[in-house]
Amino acid sequence: VTQVRPAPAGCPVAFGHQAAPPPGLAMEGFQRVDAWRAQNRPAVWSEDGPGYWVFTDGEVILSGLQQPELWSSRVMVPNEPDPPYRWIPIMLDPPEHTPWRRLLGGYLSPGRVKKMADGNRALAIEIIGRFRDRGECEFMTDFARVFPSTIFLQVMGMPIDKLEEFMSWEDMILHQDSQSDPDMSIRMNGMMAVMGYFGELIAERRAHPVEDAEDIVSDALGWQIDGKPVEDADVLNCLLLLFMAGLDTVASQLSYALLHLATHPDDRKRIVSDPSIVPHALEELMRAFPIVATGRVATQDMDFHGCPVKAGDTAQFPLAMAGRDEKAWANATSVDFDREDVRHISFGAGPHRCLGSHLARQELVIVLEEWHRLIPDYELVGTPTEHAGGVSGLNELQLRWTP
Ligand code: HEM
């Protein structure tokens, strides 16, 4: 139960924005972001929950994410100023954050990821083969949720036969909105289920170590920071964050990419006729459809780009405000594979920039290449819906082609 604070003096607007709005039709979240940005820069004040800033300008978003001394990530969901959870490493600030980053970086480094390429490509081909002759699929269930999750579970050392259960916990944690989970009980239950599962898995690996294991969970038993063993509670908080960051982000990014390509045949034909454009096309798709809206809390009173921010104010930094900012790109809300500069911050910026970006990029490139080689011509059926919030993505995407 929250009280609405008056909008701070000097801030132009206060209105009914929500950190996690109820589900809507596909692309509505991006359209909402575009409308707020068109009305107000560099921020609007949201009356959602206790009230918070929503930054609407790409440069301001970049500047906030790059200054953790001004904007702490101790709070990541802007309408939850006192979170009853502590995701590691994303909710730690430097210098506490730095050794964690080094610890995790090794598992997701470009070298490690490169070694996975052939296996990941074979997996993509195999999964597409399950439904290609059918001439149709529900892309989210049949492909997008299966492919990256299978890879992620291998990296983590988690059993693939529990994928359904993992996805249901993921759904409880990441896909709730203010109507479906007003008191946060569904999200907290999801997090408790994941932590409980990891707790048991760690106990089992301790009792029966797997020889020469290279996966994260097996390794976590021996993690040290500054020469001291990491406490079990921190290991669990870190595994929880990896679970949330790694399990459905790639699926969500893929959902918007395939929706665009299903509905823009000219762009699709370019990929089919010249697959060498895929890495560049992917960056442009990621620039135009940034799925993450992250949050922070102010560490001090300040004039932040003209906004009278008070210590303890929370803020949302929607990365879509940056990627779709027409101050940075002409026709920013349109996808244009001929655009030369496609440098985006859809993987974040500053000390918390995505640790999984090398793996995510490889997976996304492989999918765009293999999908269009095996199913070059396809169309959208029906009207997909989406969930928005911290990570937005389509709920379903029905596609059809001639087998
Ligand atoms: C297209 C897919 C992905 C996107 C768009 C994405 C986006 C992001 C963003 C924007 C952040 C920074 C959030 C912030 O600053 O508050 C982040 C952090 C992170 N991501 Fe990703 N991510 C993706 C895939 C992955 C994957 C596959 C993994 C792991 C296997 C992963 C692991 C992480 C981790 C561990 C962090 C926290 C880094 C830190 O706190 O230092 N991500 N991601």
Ligand 1 centroid–CA 352 distance in Å is 8
Average pLDDT on 217-226 reads 92
Residue 2 pLDDT more than 90?
no
pLDDT tens, 189-200?
999 999 999 999
CA of 81 to the centre of ligand 1 (A): 21
How many whole angstroms from its chain centre is CA 200?
27
Phi, psi of 68 (to 5 degrees): -65, -15
pLDDT class for 15, splitting at 50, 70, 90? low
176 falls in which pLDDT band (50, 70, 90)?
Answer: confident
Q: Among the listed ranges 111-125, 181-195, 269-283, which one has the minimum average pLDDT value?
A: 181-195
The 10s digit of each residue's pLDDT in 311-328 is: 999 999 999 999 999 999
What's the helix, strand, coil split of the chain in %, to 5? 50, 15, 40
Q: Please report which confidence band the pLDDT of residue 227 belongs to, taking 50, 70 and 90 as the band edges.
A: very high
Ligand 1 lined by 292 (C-beta under 6 Å): yes
Task: Give me the DSSP letters along 253-265.
Answer: HHHHHHHHHHH-H
Per-residue pLDDT, 248: 86
What does pTM read for this prediction? 0.95
- What distance in angstroms lies between residue 400's CA and the mean position of ligand 1's atoms? 31
How, if at all, do strands 307-309 and 228-229 pair? unpaired
Q: From residue 20, how far is each of 80, 183, 189, 282, 294 by CA, in Å?
A: 12, 13, 18, 26, 11
User: What would the mean pLDDT of 161-181 be, rounded to a whole number?
Assistant: 87
Ligand 1 center from residue 38 Cα (angstroms): 28
> Interhelix angle for 357-374 vs 278-288, to 10°?
110
Q: Is the pLDDT of residue 253 over 80?
A: yes
In which band, very low, low, confident or very high, does the pLDDT at 20 lie, cut at 50, 70 and 90? confident
Judge whether residue 107 has pLDDT over 90: yes
Which residue out of 67, 243, 354, 355 has the highest number of ligand 1 atoms within 8 Å of its CB and is therefore the one to mutate?
Answer: 354
Atom of ligand 1 nearest to the CA of 253: 1
Tell me the pLDDT band of 331, cut-offs 50, 70 and 90: very high
Q: Which of 101-105, 213-217, 262-266, 376-380 comes out lowest in average pLDDT?
A: 213-217
Which of 40-54, 130-144, 381-395 has the highest average model confidence (pLDDT)?
Answer: 130-144
Q: Ligand 1: which residue has its CA nearest to atom 20?
A: 354
**Residue 3 pLDDT:** 37
Whether the per-residue pLDDT at 8 is higher than 70: the answer is no
Nearest CA to ligand 1 atom 15: 352
Atom of ligand 1 nearest to the CA of 361: 1
User: Would you state the pLDDT for residue 237?
Assistant: 93
Is residue 13 very low, low, confident or very high in pLDDT (cuts 50, 70, 90)? Answer: low
Q: Between 18 and 44, where is the model more confident?
A: 44
Q: What pLDDT score does 4 carry? A: 42
What is the residue with the minimal CA distance to atom 37 of ligand 1?
A: 90
Per-residue pLDDT band for 360 (boundaries 50, 70, 90) equals very high
